[in-house]
Amino acid sequence: MAHKKSGEDELLFVPLGGTEEIGMNFNLYGFGKPDSHDWIIIDLGITFGDDTTPSIDVILPDPQFIEERKDKLAGIVLTHGHEDHLGAVPYLWERLRCPVYATPFTAALLRSKLEFDGMPKDIEIIEVPLSGKFDVGPFSIELITLTHSMPEPNACVVRSPLGTIFHTGDWKFDPDPVVGEASDYEALKALGDEGVLAAIGDSTNVFVPGSSGSEADILGNLSELIGKCTGRVAVACFASNVARLKTVFDAATENGRVVCLVGRSLWRINAAARQTGYLADLPAFIEAEDAADIPKDQVLYICTGSQGEPRAALSRIAANDHREVKLGDGDTVIFSSRIIPGNELSIGRLQNKLVQNGVDVINDENGNVHVSGHPAEDELIEMYQYVRPQIVVPVHGEPRHLKRHAEIAKNCQVPETILVNNGSVVRLAPERAQIIDEVHAARFAVDGPRIVPLESDVIKDRTRILYNGVAVFTLVLDASGNMLGDPQLTTHGLIEESEADELLAQISDDVEDALIDMSDADILNDAKVNEAARIAVRRSFRDTHRKRPLTTVHVVRIKDEE
């Protein structure tokens, strides 16, 4: 960082993920002299690939900034167990090597993930009780229980000599949570009375008026919908939504159906929940293979894949590619989840495929079957009435979400708001909050067994191939640079077989013209010949097919025999 130095201590906030976007949360807090800060991380999550990142399923934040300072990194604090808050820990911990603090359910999920994925086993995971207090480096941390779409969501109160930060994590106010404890309103009020310097908070649902609603509200609707179904029923939901598992189980039981889990992540979440005391009063779910002989009007499947993920259970079922579960005429799929921005196309394709198979599809547009885990406008207002911060820094949202969140905070009489990007270095104290620097904030892609920069040539070339195809051109030259014999052209994803001969003749002429234009010295330089030929091949495809393929040229030089 290159900002003005002084002898004063300062309190910094540096988001490296989860700002300008929904997902991949990665937040740093630093305290100390400008040239020597001690740091903590709050959350270290992932996001998922899409059509712009072919063959990439998992995307990670680049930890370079804090990796270069890991000798001053005291620990990682996890607010809860969603993948966009803890999913990067197994991939990036070796670069950071510090203790990880989590409440019991989150810790159980992390251990399960490490074991399942064959990740490092020597991570020091320190379990913290709900409402726990503990010190990490120069900070004193207190957890405040909130509600969300999974157990044990925690806000982090980060106390420092220069003031107290309230980091909300993901949250909502659910007056009647189906699983877990209700929000600790008294702790929030006490915190507001104590004084809050800055609130760093969730912006996901800032455009939603009113409140997000209670999980308990959808039981009746789900039960009524399921009761009208005569065939098999499948419910797609987020695997991590433990409360939804219970709600769906209760709705199925009311209608005489047994419940089967379909998808490995659902079974892992179920195991972690029961291990930590959640869902303990429910009978065991059954395996898909055990549901094969149950009459179709007496079974309900809970499936992964509500976002149209191609490898998830529901996508495989829709493609008739699942060994145990088949859905068709007279069956129903209920999407008990929201559409994550960016997933509209994949969800639409999945639902269309189900409909083509004869399946009835119900979602939140034609049935009240989901409530969000994030705060709507009235809940944000209520939160600011409790904690009364001096500064609000919106995170966990796209730019339009962050801007609207700042407007809501101003309407709540919050004195200062500041809009940040991934990589912004925000000095919260002393003096007025401001961005004082910008640091490296990039992304990594999990590509098979390796981690590569998302902007690497490997990923860029793969994307180019997806949209423009591949061309390999081989030409043989004599020592003087004259073409010997017919060149060879191999393409993928570009031309029909019937076009090959005519196109090869055209490209050969273009390459020969390019070589004729070269100087006597350049025609003897294989590298320069290669580049001239490559440009000519690409130009030919641009003119004939309006494509810019990934082009490789092989130059074979035949020396004259003495």
pLDDT of 53 above 70: yes
- pLDDT-based confidence at 64, cuts 50/70/90? very high
> Is 197 in contact with 163 (CB distance < 8 Å)?
yes
Residues 35, 143: one domain? yes
User: Between vectors from CA 529 to CA 524 and to CA 533, what angle results, nearest 5°?
Assistant: 155
pLDDT at 57: 86
Beta-sheet pairing, 389-395 with 416-417:
parallel
Query: What is the CATH classification number for the domain harbouring 519?
Result: 3.10.20.580
pLDDT at 531: 94
Both tokens of 503, joined, read 């196109």
Q: Is residue 1 part of a domain?
A: no
pLDDT at 301: 97
Query: What is the CATH classification number for the domain harbouring 426?
Result: 3.60.15.10
Average pLDDT estimate for 484-508: 90
Q: Rounded to an integer, what distance in angstroms lies between the CA atom of residue 462 and that of residue 468?
A: 10
Task: Label residue 545 exposed, middle or buried (CB < 10 Å: 0-12, 13-18, 19+).
Answer: middle
pLDDT at 488: 92
> Is 19 in contact with 421 (CB distance < 8 Å)?
yes
b/e 481-495 (16+ beta carbons within 10 angstroms → b): beeeeebebebeebb
Both tokens of 289, joined, read 């293979």
- What is the percentage of the chain residues whose pLDDT exceeds 90? 79
Both tokens of 337, joined, read 């989840």
Q: Is residue 51 part of a domain?
A: yes
pLDDT at 178: 92
> Of the candidates 362, 382, 415, which is a domain's last residue?
362
Length reported for the chain: 562
Residues 191, 297: one domain? no
pLDDT of 562 above 50: no
Q: Is residue 461 part of a domain?
A: no
- Three state DSSP letters for 523-541: HHCHHHHHHHHHHHHHHHH
pLDDT digits over 272-303, tens only? 999 999 998 999 999 999 998 899 999 999 99
pLDDT digits over 211-238, tens only? 999 999 899 999 999 999 999 999 999 9
Give how many domains the chain has, as a whole number: 3
Residues 49, 196: one domain? yes
The chain-wide mean pLDDT, for the chain, equals 93
pLDDT at 340: 80
Give CB contacts under 8 A, 24+ apart, made by 24-27: 24/59, 24/60, 24/61, 24/84, 24/88, 24/443, 25/84, 25/85, 25/395, 25/396, 26/61, 26/63, 26/88, 27/167, 27/200, 27/395
Peptide bond into 104 cis (omega under 30): no
Residues 219, 195: one domain? no
pLDDT at 560: 64
- Three state DSSP letters for 222-279: HHHHHHCCCCCEEEECCCCCHHHHHHHHHHHHHCCCEEEEECHHHHHHHHHHHHCCCC
> Of the candidates 338, 362, 386, which is a domain's last residue?
362
pLDDT digits over 86-104, tens only? 999 999 999 999 999 999 9
Average pLDDT estimate for 550-554: 94
- Give residue 183's identity as a one-letter amino acid code: S
pLDDT of 164 above 70: yes
pLDDT at 393: 98
Query: What is the CATH classification number for the domain harbouring 272?
Result: 3.40.50.10710
Average pLDDT estimate for 461-484: 90
pLDDT digits over 387-402, tens only? 999 999 999 999 999 9
Find the range with the poorest average confidence among 70-79, 182-191, 330-339, 455-464.
Answer: 455-464
Residues 151, 198: one domain? yes
The DSSP symbol for 374 reads: S
> Of the candidates 309, 332, 362, which is a domain's last residue?
362
pLDDT at 120: 64
pLDDT at 109: 94
Both tokens of 364, joined, read 């939140």
Residues 389, 412: one domain? yes
The most confident of 183-192, 339-348, 509-518, by mean pLDDT: 183-192
The domain containing residue 31 runs over which residues?
10-210+372-453
- pLDDT-based confidence at 327, cuts 50/70/90? very high
